[in-house]
Structure 1
Amino acid sequence: MAPTSRPPTLRQRRLGAELRRLRERTDMSATEAGTHFGASQSRVSSIEAGRYAVSADRVRALASLYNCADQDLIEALTQMTGRQTRGWWEQDREVLPAGLLDLAELEHHATFVRVATMVHIPGLLQTRDHASALFDATVPPLPPHAVEHRLSFRIKRQGIMFEGEPTPLTAVIHEAALRMGLGGRAVARAQLRHLIDMSERENITIGVIPFGTGPLHGSGHPIDYFGGSVPQLDTVQLDTDHTTVLLDAEAHLVKYRNVLDCLESYALKPAVSRDLIHHAAQTL
């Protein structure tokens, strides 16, 4: 085990957090855990903060110490160990907020993605022109170079839906988002045509919630749900006006699975949703 020379990735932090959860469920202190391995309390805390890379064998040993019998979870945690190769998003660490890098990392490792939005088109389904219009409307305004960085980054993120084994994506979009007309008629129509094209891909399901449907509990902000290799390693992202919030506690995961299930039940079937998107494009 060795200290990381750079800030820990989101994945490293999540591994440490899961090890901390396992320890806390046994009511064992970090000092007690360290004693079993000849390590200090500060070293155990560094592991749990993701600042020290740990081996798969050490993860198995800790899981045994913490009386974890969930072999699927243990195996999933071992896959998160070591000094893993950093992803393409790391090249933008100096020019983009850390939250955007975390988002790209989540998407890259996700086994599936579920999103729900009420007034925006999901980022993974936006055209470049639509995204440009969205960034141009940011308050306070972003300088041109910052807009360009974000545009390029957003388009690169969309690669998960096309490259290698495409990631399954289920998107619930309210009809309001279809009729915003962001960027003007030409841009908005092109965006809606793009949604139709994307909805015809095998790995992408788009459902539209029409006006007059509700109540839409828990839908006041965009919801992104990222599937882990086991359900305990899922992650929820909530976008707010001032920050991005990541949630991974079991209670939060259960809540937002239920919220998304509810919203998906309100959405029209994919074929009917395509018809509604087409109609929205014609009437812009």
Structure 2
Amino acid sequence: MTTRPAPTARRIRLATELRKLRERAGLTSTEAAKLLGTSSGQLSNVESARFGVSAERVRAMANVYSCANPPYVDALTDMAVDKTRGWWDTYREVLPSGLLVLAELEHHATAIRTAFTAHIPGMLQTAEHAREIFSQVIPAPTPPEVEHRVAHRIRRQDVVFREDPNPYSTVIHEAALHMQVGGPRVARAQLQHLIDMSQRKHVALRVLPFGVGAFPGSGQSINYLCGSVPELDTVQLDQFHGPVLLDAEAHLEKYRRLLNVVEATALSPAKSRDLIRSIARTF
């Protein structure tokens, strides 16, 4: 028997959005299926991402559900058309699915906003820093597993190095800058890498100094991945048991506001570079 390939993150998100549209229209799956000229079983398969869906069917569903948001509908049809499987799929047998989903979301994001308290964002880590981080994973990974994770992390960074990259904004707490991950030599190289990356036009790196005290979201690491329209944004939160994805409208609005406050509280990019340089000289 042929094994059906796992659905991509985009197909899962498309299925979720189509279900949301139906629910906002106040239709049961049986009622919606009748209006669409299909069976409730077929509709269930689409809404659970077991089956893909054509662009024409997406537009028909948006029409039946009375969705009066053309940019949103256009974005959904683009998701239906895109059936490609990206480079991250080659890691499916060797890495946790959460890492693959994050890479896919980053690849398709129109902008990325992040905030980190206790570590350097993966998008800005050196290979040596990442190798040390992955060596500390519990349960302990084998050397090949560590190298797979390092290679995947560095490949993810294509989104900040490619031609015409999208905006990348991050806030890093000063605490993360003082951690000598891998020892002084590796730590100095990591801080220099942050300085170098912060000077790229599309990268906005801000530091939250110790002096700010308490601030919103201080206990979390946040990845905010912007979709082609705001309705398709995604929040990814790092948890010890794995990443958590949020896409409810209330969650998206909450984390937009939180990141706005954190970015406004942090030092300017120029002052952040100065602070990183001063910390690097202490190693």
2:228 aligns with: 229
Task: Say if 2:207 is the partner of 1:189.
Answer: no
The 8 Å contact of residues 53 and 83 in structure 1, kept in 2 or not, is answered as: no
2:68 aligns with: 69
Task: Say if 2:261 is the partner of 1:262.
Answer: yes
**SS of the residue 2:80 aligns to:** coil
Distance 2:167 2:82 in 1: 28
1:166 aligns with: 165
Distance 2:5 2:92 in 1: 11
Task: Say if 2:245 is the partner of 1:246.
Answer: yes
Distance 2:101 2:245 in 1: 9
2:13 aligns with: 14
Write out aligned runs for 1:95-174 (5 A).
Answer: 95-174=94-173
- Could you give the per-residue CA deviations for residues 191-226 of structure 1, whole angstroms, max 9, x where no partner exists? 000000000001101000000213212221210000
The 8 Å contact of residues 124 and 157 in structure 1, kept in 2 or not, is answered as: yes
Distance 2:38 2:63 in 1: 17
The 8 Å contact of residues 17 and 49 in structure 1, kept in 2 or not, is answered as: yes
Provide the TM-score with structure 1 as the length reference: 0.97
**SS of the residue 1:57 aligns to:** helix
1:92 aligns with: 91
**SS of the residue 1:52 aligns to:** coil
Task: Say if 2:36 is the partner of 1:31.
Answer: no
Which segments of structure 1 move beyond 2 Å, counting only runs of 4 or more? none
Distance 1:278 1:136 in 2: 27
**Structure 2: which amino acid aligns with 1:111?**
T
How far did 1:5 drift?
3.4
Distance 2:257 2:82 in 1: 35
How far did 1:233 drift?
0.2
The 8 Å contact of residues 36 and 60 in structure 2, kept in 1 or not, is answered as: no
- Could you give the per-residue CA deviations for residues 66-85 of structure 1, whole angstroms, max 9, x where no partner exists? 01000010001010014611
**Structure 1: which amino acid aligns with 2:249?**
E
* Between 128-137 and 76-85, the greater mean CA deviation after superposition: 76-85
Distance 1:257 1:218 in 2: 12
Distance 1:113 1:50 in 2: 25
2:219 aligns with: 220
- Could you give the per-residue CA deviations for residues 144-180 of structure 1, whole angstroms, max 9, x where no partner exists? 1110000000000000111132121101000000001
How far did 1:140 drift?
2.1
How far did 1:27 drift?
1.1
Over the aligned positions, Cα root-mean-square deviation in angstroms equals 1.1
1:208 aligns with: 207
Distance 2:157 2:218 in 1: 23
**Structure 2: which amino acid aligns with 1:137?**
Q
Distance 2:138 2:13 in 1: 31
The 8 Å contact of residues 53 and 82 in structure 1, kept in 2 or not, is answered as: no
* Between 124-133 and 159-168, the greater mean CA deviation after superposition: 159-168
Distance 1:38 1:79 in 2: 23
**Structure 2: which amino acid aligns with 1:106?**
L
Distance 1:173 1:138 in 2: 21
Consecutive unaligned residues of structure 2, counting only runs of 5 or more, are none
How far did 1:40 drift?
1.5
Distance 2:253 2:222 in 1: 14
The 8 Å contact of residues 13 and 50 in structure 1, kept in 2 or not, is answered as: yes
Distance 1:161 1:183 in 2: 24
2:178 aligns with: 179
Distance 1:91 1:17 in 2: 25
